[in-house]
Structure 1
Amino acid sequence: MEHPIFELKNISYEYKDKMETTQALKDINLKVHKGDFVALVGPNGSGKTTLIKLILGVLKLQTGEIYINGKSLRHFQAWQEVGYVSQKSNSFAKGFPATVSEVILSGLTKSKGLFNRFKKADYDKLDEVLALLNIVELKNKNISQLSGGQTQRVFIARALINRPSILVLDEPTVGIDAKHVKEFYDVLLRLKEQAVTILLVTHDIGVVVDHANEVACLNEHLHFHGSNHEFKNLGEAELSKIYGFPLQLVSHDHERSCCE
């Protein structure tokens, strides 16, 4: 039987300082299977980014276990299988003196090491991800010259150049206009068709539920995990209880938006 790509068991996490303890996550159990596109949603401060940092090993586990491809996170080494795009990608790119090709190729350093020369096979991978994300014409442009949507595609290409089977994205559409958000989700759907497993953290539940096939709704606890169809059918009272304030999903122009 095939292992889940991600399996989280009884995950809890607290932030502590001298004055107080803040519970960020409590008793989270979650499975993500191969080829799934899972949207992790919830209000600000609900623990979404904390959970991603735990999955990626940025934060140390306090309680519970995380498995990636059946391997305990405590012993997991195959990070080249996991691509990651941060919500800070766009701000990082502003004024950065590097071409698109250089930024994307830098994604190979975790598998090649920092000072090894790039070979023909590496440039073949570069051409492959440029074509996949429809950014071939940007190849020699400076990263700081690109629009927000173009920049995000470049950082997805950087995450994909190692040909990972998993892509984790943390609020990747922050600061991107509506046109480029649509292009961004089109790219993710193409990746899903290639059996890439996607875990996407977002606050934009109105758009994402029409693209992800599963939704996990987090607010300290995991309040919901199911299909996008099941999530769309949640009532206003249920959504408001999860989010802690009045909330409803409204359909318009064949898309859905989130409204308080």
Structure 2
Amino acid sequence: MSTPVFEIRNVSYKYYEKMETTVALKDINLKIERGEFMAIVGPNGSGKSTLIKLILGIKKLQEGEILINGKRMNRRNRETKIGYVSQKAASFAKGFPATVKEVVLSGLTKKRGLFKKFNKEDFKALDEVLDLLDIEDLKNKNIASLSGGQTQRVFIARALINKPEILVLDEPTEGIDAKNVYSFYEVLTRLKESGTTILLVTHDIGVVVDQADTVACLNEHLHFHGSKQDFLKLDEAELSKVYGFPLQLVNHDHTRSCCEVPYAN
């Protein structure tokens, strides 16, 4: 059996504020295989953001461990093996005086160093990732002039130029209109077909379940982890119990019938 590219073992996390303790995550266990597309779903306040911060090293582990290729995650393998796209990427780009080329190449600074010049291999990697995401024509455009969907592709390119083991996307379609959301998920399909391992975190089940290989349903505990086919067999009562409020079955234009999860506090 092959070693998972990414593994979360017995991870728990609590917040301590004003003599009160809030459990954000309780005994989370997840494995992501190479080339897999996993969607982590759950309402707001379910612990998804906390889990991402632990994966990225923004927060320190309190209990449990995280492994990459069977080795305990540390600062070095985290930075070189995990590509990350924030939900705030599109808004960050507004008014930012840089070209697409400069933004994508900046993804190499952790690997090469801040003041080292880019070489022929770097520019080759730039062209390859721009071509993969079908944005080579935007190479010399100012990022502030792009649409939300185009901007997200640029930041995905920035995350991928280092050839990470896994691409982590946190609510990547926030602030993107419906037309560009559809285009964005087409990009993820292309990345999956190229062999990229994808971990997508979202509150919205409907727009991802048709594309993900596996689904993890998180709300403090890991309530479900399995194939999307098994996930779709869960009835509304089971899902509503997990989410703490009623769910409705709806049709999305670019997916089959699935569950719509509204925002919840």
> Normalising by structure 2, what TM-score?
0.94
Match of 2:20 in 1: 20
Q: Hey, what's the Cα distance between the residues in 2 that align with 1:75 and 1:116? A: 21
Shift of 1:58: 1.4
- Percent of aligned positions that are identical: 70
Q: Deviations over 1:6-56 (max 9, x none)?
A: 111111001112231111000111111111100000000000011111112
Q: Deviations over 1:76-105 (max 9, x none)?
A: 535222211011101110000000100000
Paired with 1:174 and 1:5, the residues of 2 have a C-alpha distance of: 27
C-alpha separation in 2, matches of 1:148 and 1:259: 23
2:197 counterpart residue number? 197
Residue number among 257, 260, 263 corresponding to 1:258 in the alignment: 260
Residues 46-195 of structure 1: pairs in structure 2 closer than 5 A: 46-74=46-74, 77=77, 79-195=79-195
Taking the aligned partners of 1:195 and 1:254, their CA distance within structure 2 comes to: 22
Map of 1:226 onto structure 2:
226
Report SS of the residue matched to 2:26: strand
Gap change, CA 1:140 and 1:233, over 3 Å in 2: same
In structure 1, what residue type is equivalent to 2:31?
K
Structure 2 Cα separation of the partners of residues 77 and 212 of structure 1: 25
* Mapped partners of 1:21, 1:52: distance in 2: 20
Q: What is the rounded CA distance, in whole Å, between the counterparts of 1:163 and 1:38 in structure 2?
A: 18
SS, match of residue 207 in structure 2: helix
Code of the residue aligned with 1:226 in structure 2: it is G
- Give the RMSD, CA atoms, in angstroms: 1.4
Aligned twin of 1:45 = 45
Of the structure 1 ranges 247-256 and 212-221, higher mean CA displacement relative to structure 2 is found in 247-256
- Once the 2 structures are TM-superposed, how far is the Cα of residue 163 of structure 1 from its aligned partner? 1.6
Supply the distance in 1 between the matched residues of 2:70 and 2:159 (Cα, whole angstroms).
22
* One-letter amino acid matched to 1:145: S
Q: Distance in 1 between matches of 2:236 and 2:203?
A: 17
Matched residues in 2 for 1:259 and 1:26: separation?
Answer: 22
- The size of the alignment, in residue pairs, is 260
Please report the TM-score for the alignment, with normalisation by the length of structure 1: 0.96
The CA deviation at 1:2 is 1.9
Partners of 1:59 and 1:202 in 2: how far apart? 20
Q: Is the 8 A contact 1:38 1:198 kept in 2?
A: yes
Change (3 A) 1:8 1:259: closer
The answer for the alignment partner of 1:209 in structure 2 is 209
Structure 2, gaps ≥5 residues long = none
